[in-house]
Amino acid sequence: MSRREFRAQQAALIIFATLNIVLGATCFWLYPEYQYARKTAAAEAAVAAKQVEITRQAQAEIDQLKQIIGHAALAPIDEIESAHRQDSALVVSNGAEAVLRPYRRLVEALWITARSVLAREKAAREQVDQLAGALSTMEEGHRLVESRFDENTHALEERLRAERDDFAAARSRHEHQTRELGQLVDEKSRAVIEWQESYRQMERRLARQLASLQHDYNRVVEKIRDFENVEFEKPDGRVSASDPHSDRIVIDLGSEDLLRVGISFAVFPPGDGRLGTHRKGTIEVTKILAEHVAEARVVNDSLTDPILSGDLIYTPLWQPGQRRHFALVGPLDIDADGRDDRDLVARLIERSGGVIDEELTAAGDRQGGMTIDTRFLVIGRVPSESNARREFMETYGQMIERADQLAVERISLTKLLDLVGYRTQSRASSPRRQSNRSTR
Write the CB contacts of 205 (distance below 8 Å, at least 6 apart in sequence): none
Decide if pLDDT at 439 tops 50: no
- State how far the Cα of 103 lies from the Cα of 387, in Å rounded to an integer: 76
Q: Lowest mean pLDDT: which of 119-128, 204-213, 285-294, 367-376? A: 204-213
Q: Which CATH superfamily is domain 237-315 in?
A: FlgT, C-terminal domain (2.40.10.410)
What pLDDT does residue 429 have?
Answer: 47
Would you list the domain boundaries of the chain? 1-62, 142-229, 237-315, 322-420
Q: Do domains 237-315 and 322-420 have the same CATH topology?
A: no
Longest dimension (CA), the chain: 203
How much is the average pLDDT of 284-298?
Answer: 91
What pLDDT does residue 219 have?
Answer: 64
Q: What is the pLDDT of residues 406-434, one digit of tens each?
A: 888 888 888 877 766 666 544 444 555 45
Decide if pLDDT at 210 tops 80: no
What pLDDT does residue 432 have?
Answer: 54
Q: What is the pLDDT of residues 254-278, one digit of tens each?
A: 888 888 888 888 888 887 556 666 7
How much is the average pLDDT of 217-235?
Answer: 56
Mean pLDDT computed over every residue of the chain = 79
What pLDDT does residue 106 have?
Answer: 66
3-state secondary structure the chain: CCHHHHHHHHHHHHHHHHHHHHHHHHHHHHHHHHHHHHHHHHHHHHHHHHHHHHHHHHHHHHHHHHHHCCCCCCCCHHHHHHHHHHHHHHCCCCCCCCCCCCHHHHHHHHHHHHHHHHHHHHHHHHHHHHHHHHHHHHHHHHHHHHHHHHHHHHHHHHHHHHHHHHHHHHHHHHHHHHHHCHHHHHHHHHHHHHHHHHHHHHHHHHHHHHHHHHHHHHHHHHHHHHHHHCCCCCCCEEEEEECCCCCEEEECCCHHHCCCCCCEEEEECCCCCCCCCCCCEEEEEEEEEECCEEEEEEEECCCCCCCCCCCEEECCCEECCEECEEEEECCCCCCCCCCCCHHHHHHHHHHCCCEEEEEECCCCCEEECCCCCEEEEEECCCCCCCCCCHHHHHHHHHHHHHHHHCCCEEEEHHHHHHHHCCCCHHHCCCHHHHHHHHHC
pTM over 0.85: no
What pLDDT does residue 142 have?
Answer: 86
Class of domain 322-420: alpha beta
Q: What is the pLDDT of residues 309-350, one digit of tens each?
A: 999 988 877 777 677 788 998 888 888 787 888 888 888 887
Q: What is the pLDDT of residues 88-133, one digit of tens each?
A: 766 655 444 445 566 666 677 777 777 888 888 888 888 898 898 8
Nearest-CA neighbor of 266 among 314, 319, 318, 303? 314
Instruction: Say if CB 356 and CB 416 are below 8 A apart.
Output: no
What pLDDT does residue 228 have?
Answer: 44
Instruction: Say if CB 329 and CB 363 are below 8 A apart.
Output: no
What pLDDT does residue 245 have?
Answer: 82
What values do phi and psi take at 57, rounded to 5? -65, -40
